[in-house]
């Protein structure tokens, strides 16, 4: 017998899978449901879920090797083991339903749901859904999507375009509050971010411009370099701008735990085009300069960015075209054209979906076998 008040939430590996899952888990928890987070304890979802106080159930799965090799056999054995563990979790905790955000981490639990006939719902963040969503959504009771364009790739009759679940704090923190949190002044602020791992092309173009952006343009800059790239960025910055550490216009860190304050503090953002980042950018009323990662699976970042571009909600630059001169010209064009700035801001604000989490949780709670 299932427990109508227990839910499993799964998704991991990257923030694009984890944060939507946590947003749904948080709302379920606020509504007094019991939530177990299923993921890999060696990934970032482990610490994030524990910090929230959720019971964490480990599945030892990794991404599938793309080439035929002994590694593929070893991966297959680990996947079967992770599915068996997931079946055991379902039998022990008897969840009412499972919510999965796709990606390899969620695959074992979805297979376990199919085996045990446990109802599950899937969500995909991208305009081009991932492999797990495309292959395993057929038996889902419902599929929620961030993009209308993604519907044609999903073999399920019950599809709802909700937008991505975003954290409640995006509704609560104002620009003034966010700037105060970061000790910033009330003036135009540029955010530079390439995701938690950073982006070399974005970092390289930005480093050479930081001195000019601060001293000549008088812009504040919040620069997330990525943990792997921080030392390299600082070494290069010392060559271009030896006194950078004394500049109150600059905040440069490898990673920000509180990205909500960072995004809400800004006016313009230079970013990759991961779907969750785009949803949070829209929720923060920013002007996006998007540089999609050219090697993303199924080209999904380019497709995401093009969707925003078609809605008049971003400036689009190909990774190969990004250099200091291109970036400088793009920033100057925006600063010198407040009408364009406002147009882009209005369109990102229009695309923000603040009710996505509520709609998804409502669907999830009404799922029946």
10 Å Cβ neighbour count for 99?
30
Q: Which residues lie below 8 Å from residue 322, measured CB to CB, with a gap of 6+? A: 201, 202, 205, 291
Give the integer Cα–Cα distance in Å for 42 and 56. 12
Q: What is the mean pLDDT of the chain?
A: 92
176 and 287 belong to one structural domain: yes
Is-contact 8 95, C-beta < 8 A?
A: yes
Hey, CA dihedral for 93, 78, 46, 139, is it positive or negative?
Answer: negative
99 and 236 belong to one structural domain: no
What 3-state class would DSSP assign to 145?
strand
Would you place residue 75 in the very low, low, confident or very high pLDDT band (cuts 50, 70, 90)?
confident
162 and 173 belong to one structural domain: no
- CA–CA distance from 369 to each of 96, 114, 119, 179, 366 (Å)? 9, 11, 6, 48, 10
151 and 265 belong to one structural domain: no
Tokens encoding 171: 């509704």
DSSP state of 69: S
Domain count, the chain: 2
136 and 258 belong to one structural domain: no
pTM for this entry: 0.85
145 and 191 belong to one structural domain: no
Model pLDDT, residue 14: 82
Give the integer Cα–Cα distance in Å for 6 and 27. 13
> Got the DSSP string for 105-119?
GGHHHHHHHHHHT--
Half-sphere exposure of 117 (CA within 13 A, CB side): 4
320 and 179 belong to one structural domain: yes
Owning domain of residue 78: 3-166+354-365
125 and 8 belong to one structural domain: yes
DSSP state of 17: H
196 and 283 belong to one structural domain: yes
Would you place residue 195 in the very low, low, confident or very high pLDDT band (cuts 50, 70, 90)?
low
59 and 21 belong to one structural domain: yes
246 and 160 belong to one structural domain: no
Ramachandran category for residue 285: left, alpha or beta (phi over 0 → left; psi -120 to 50 → alpha): left
Residue 197 has pLDDT above 60, yes or no: no
Q: Name the one residue in this structure whose structure tokens are 């992770």.
A: 82
For residue range 305-319, list pLDDT tens digits in order: 999 999 999 999 999
Model pLDDT, residue 194: 77
CATH code of the domain containing 89: 3.40.50.2000
Would you place residue 297 in the very low, low, confident or very high pLDDT band (cuts 50, 70, 90)?
confident
Residue 265 has pLDDT above 80, yes or no: yes
> Count of H helices and E strands in the chain?
16, 13
Nearest partner of 125 among 74, 164, 173, judged by Cα: 164
Indicate the pairing of strand 142-145 with strand 220-224: unpaired
Give the integer Cα–Cα distance in Å for 237 and 253. 13
Is-contact 337 315, C-beta < 8 A?
A: no
How far is C-alpha 252 from the geometric centre of its chain's CA atoms? 21
Give the integer Cα–Cα distance in Å for 202 and 285. 21
66 and 177 belong to one structural domain: no
DSSP state of 244: G
Model pLDDT, residue 2: 64
Model pLDDT, residue 3: 66
For residue range 224-254, list pLDDT tens digits in order: 998 889 999 999 999 999 999 999 999 999 9
Is-contact 31 63, C-beta < 8 A?
A: no
């Amino acid at each position: 017998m299932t427990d109508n008040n227990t839910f499993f939430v799964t998704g991991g590996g990257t923030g694009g899978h984890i944060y939507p899952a946590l947003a749904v888990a948080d709302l379920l928890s606020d509504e007094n449901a019991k939530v177990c987070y299923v993921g890999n304890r060696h990934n970032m979802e482990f610490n994030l879920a524990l910090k929230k106080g959720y019971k964490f159930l480990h599945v030892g799965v990794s991404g599938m090797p793309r080439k035929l090799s002994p590694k593929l056999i070893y991966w297959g054995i680990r996947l079967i083991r992770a599915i068996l563990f997931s079946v055991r979790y379902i039998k022990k905790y008897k969840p009412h339903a499972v919510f999965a955000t796709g990606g390899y981490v969620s695959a074992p639990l979805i297979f376990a749901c199919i085996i045990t006939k446990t109802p599950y719902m899937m969500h995909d963040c991208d305009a081009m859904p991932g492999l797990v969503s495309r292959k395993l959504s057929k038996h889902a009771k419902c599929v929620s999507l961030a993009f209308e364009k993604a519907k044609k790739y999903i073999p399920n009759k019950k599809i709802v375009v909700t937008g991505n679940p975003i954290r409640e704090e995006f509704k609560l923190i104002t620009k003034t509050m966010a700037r105060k949190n970061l000790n910033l002044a009330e003036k135009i602020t540029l955010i530079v971010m390439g995701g938690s791992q950073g982006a070399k092309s974005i970092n390289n173009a930005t480093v050479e411009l930081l001195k000019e952006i601060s001293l000549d343009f008088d812009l504040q800059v919040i620069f997330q370099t990525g943990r792997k790239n921080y030392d390299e960025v600082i070494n290069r910055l010392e060559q271009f701008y030896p006194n950078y550490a004394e500049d109150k216009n600059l905040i440069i860190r490898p990673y920000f735990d509180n990205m909500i304050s960072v995004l809400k503090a800004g006016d313009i953002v230079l970013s990759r085009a991961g779907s969750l980042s785009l949803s949070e950018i829209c929720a923060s009323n920013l002007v996006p300069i998007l540089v999609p990662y050219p090697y993303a699976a199924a080209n999904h970042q380019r497709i995401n960015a093009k969707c925003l571009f078609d809605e008049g909600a971003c400036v689009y630059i190909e990774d190969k075209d990004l250099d200091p001169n291109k970036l400088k010209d793009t920033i100057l064009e925006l600063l010198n054209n407040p009408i364009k700035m406002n147009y882009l801001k209005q369109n990102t604000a229009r695309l923000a979906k603040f009710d996505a989490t509520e709609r998804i949780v409502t669907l999830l709670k009404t799922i029946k076998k």
